[in-house]
Structure 1
């Protein structure tokens, strides 16, 4: 059963400016996310960070919690070896996923100076959290 869906956009240029502030990156992105971008060019880092930021906001919309639902760094956007994105949850976000038997599905894209994310939260049968 679908619990919720969310979509969000983020301007890459806005993210590029925000990443100039180390406190912003530390507050919004998990260490694993930041490590993923460390060797990227400034443009590619901003594109990836903008997509991850959009994913976090799309997740909050899908969860119905709004911006105060979880600390953004608890919603880490990571990538499989194939490049496919997925969420890794920490703290209160991890507890929310577990207690509600949720699977998060994530799709990201960026083009023309914008990054977008689409999230579907699927509720599994009790006791079968995938």
Structure 2
């Protein structure tokens, strides 16, 4: 049964400024979970000024950020208790398909509501898009 649908857009250039600006490390820690930070390897990008590498990582991070917002919209709550952005992680399967991984109070909410989250991501033309569908198990 459909629980909720959410979508979001994130501008890649804005994400790049947030990640690689003066407060990039603090932004990264507040927004991205451990698995995402490892996958994105943003600390390495801060040390390497290669524009191509930074642009690719910023596009991936923008898609991940949009996925977090899309989940919050599908949940029907926006960013408020019990959710925390870093507890809503977006990881990639070996096939490259994106999946959510939840932790903390967000994971408890997902379990309590018996929902499964489906995710699709895309980025092109300086924008990243995420689409989330929450399905609820019939009880």
For normalisation by structure 1, the TM-score amounts to 0.93
Helix, strand or coil: the match of 2:37? helix
Q: State the shift of 1:37 in Å.
A: 1.5
Match for 1:50 among 43, 58, 62? 62
Distance 1:17 1:32 in 2: 21
Structure 1's unaligned 5+ residue stretches are none
Greater Rg over alpha carbons, structure: 2
Residue in structure 2 matched with residue 33 of structure 1 by the alignment: 36
Alignment of 1:86-97 (within 5 A): 86-97=99-110
Alignment of 1:1-130 (within 5 A): 1-20=1-20, 21-38=24-41, 41-69=53-81, 70-126=83-139
Distance 1:112 1:28 in 2: 24
Helix, strand or coil: the match of 1:66? coil
Q: State the shift of 1:34 in Å.
A: 1.1
Distance 1:65 1:71 in 2: 12
Matched length: 126
Helix, strand or coil: the match of 1:67? coil
If each structure's helix is expressed as a fraction of its own residues, which one has the higher value?
A: 2
Structure 2's unaligned 5+ residue stretches are 46-52
Helix, strand or coil: the match of 1:19? helix
Distance 2:106 2:120 in 1: 19
